[in-house]
Homo-oligomer: A and B are copies of this chain.
Amino acid sequence: MGKHDPSQKEKIADDLPSVLLLRQPFVFKVYERQFSEKFRFLKPWESSLPLHQFLSTHAASVQAAFFSAGRPITTDILQNLPELRFIMTSSAGLDHIDLNECKRRGIKVANAGSIFSEDVADTAVGLLIDVLRRVSAANWFVKAGLWQQKGDYPLGHKLGGKRVGVVGMGSIGLNVAKKLNTFGCIISYNSRKKKPHVTFPFYPNIQELAANCEIIIICCALMDQTRHMIDKNVMMALGKEGIIVNVARGAIINEKELVQCLLKGEIAGAGLDVFENEPNVPEELFHLDNVVMTPHNAVMTEESMNNLYEIVIGNLEAFFSNKPLIFEVVQDSGEHFGSKFLEIESWFQRCSSAFRYRDLVYDKKQ
């Protein structure tokens, strides 16, 4: 970009379509300059007005909003935005948005679809290897100079041959299952319903799945039905050799019961990217070598942020030009909301910068 006369720049920004933010999605921090060339972002945190008043002030001009996970989008907020017709969220998860209220108000919702699935699956595999093979703890052992002092390091456990239960067989769960299958793991799964195209054994009951596995990997959406689904009973069924990996949402596990089971050795370890009350993490777990924790960063790669940027720009442009969205959240016949990849081909045709993503999705070289 060349230099602009500031008044000219202001004028250009005023002509751009308005998009409301509530707080900064991480991708916005990374690509703010590029985003701001195409849209005028309303940033309540830069205003001296309280949020409620800020929203009222801009109510008439806000047709689109760009939200991140973590901040609930309640009826209260939506009531303040009568002209809102489109919510783009930077997450794959939708648990922070009142989807029924959006539907009632005729607000379209789009999420990141499945663009994070590979990175999230990689994190799940990485956390699992880390817990089984004690990688983080061994790294600390070496870096603290304990190898010279203490010699032998405790034995880990082999990944191959382990029975792994995948909870949630969407794009992330399927990706985890395929990867761990290559490691010689024996996969089974639990999901809202049996997936016709998935050949791994299906357990409709989560406790039964846990009883038949040494490892469970949580990849499902957080909904009323899945909140605290992984409780003490499930952990007891998993057993003392059992390992839990969670790359979905913290509240799918009853965290208090998880902490107790870990402290008492009722399960063998955990790899956790998500927590019930982020960024607060149960401090009782801080000293446990068999618990590996990451700060909800399973999707946080440069490559994913670039892909997300493309999707957000593409969807906002589509909305403002009355074209079909790339991803859109739709309700299936069972009243379940899910993301639908609507227009990726036409999006590729109109959006040259999407080629990088296209490569990743379609043209895997091996």
- Residues on A facing B (Cβ under 8 Å): 26, 29-30, 118-119, 122-123, 125-127, 129-130, 132-136, 138-143, 145, 147-148, 151-153, 155-161, 178-179, 181-187, 278-281, 283, 285-287, 292-295, 297, 300-305, 359-360, 364-366
Contacts and interface: CB of A to CB of B under 8 A. Distances in A.
Contacts of A183: 118, 122, 179
16 contacts: A26-B152, A118-B160, A118-B184, A123-B129, A126-B130, A135-B294, A138-B295, A143-B285, A143-B287, A147-B278, A151-B279, A155-B301, A156-B302, A157-B301, A158-B301, A160-B364
Contacts of A279: 147-148, 151
- How many copies the complex holds: the figure is 2
Contact of A126 (B126, B153, B186, B294): B126
Contacts of A151: 279
A292 B135 contact: yes
Contacts of A185: 366
B293 A143 contact: yes
Nearest to A199: B366
A204 B50 CA distance: 66
Contacts of A139: 130, 136, 292-294
Nearest to A279: B147
A143 B290 CA distance: 12
A360 B139 CA distance: 28
A13 B360 CA distance: 63
Contact of A161 (B125, B129, B359): B359
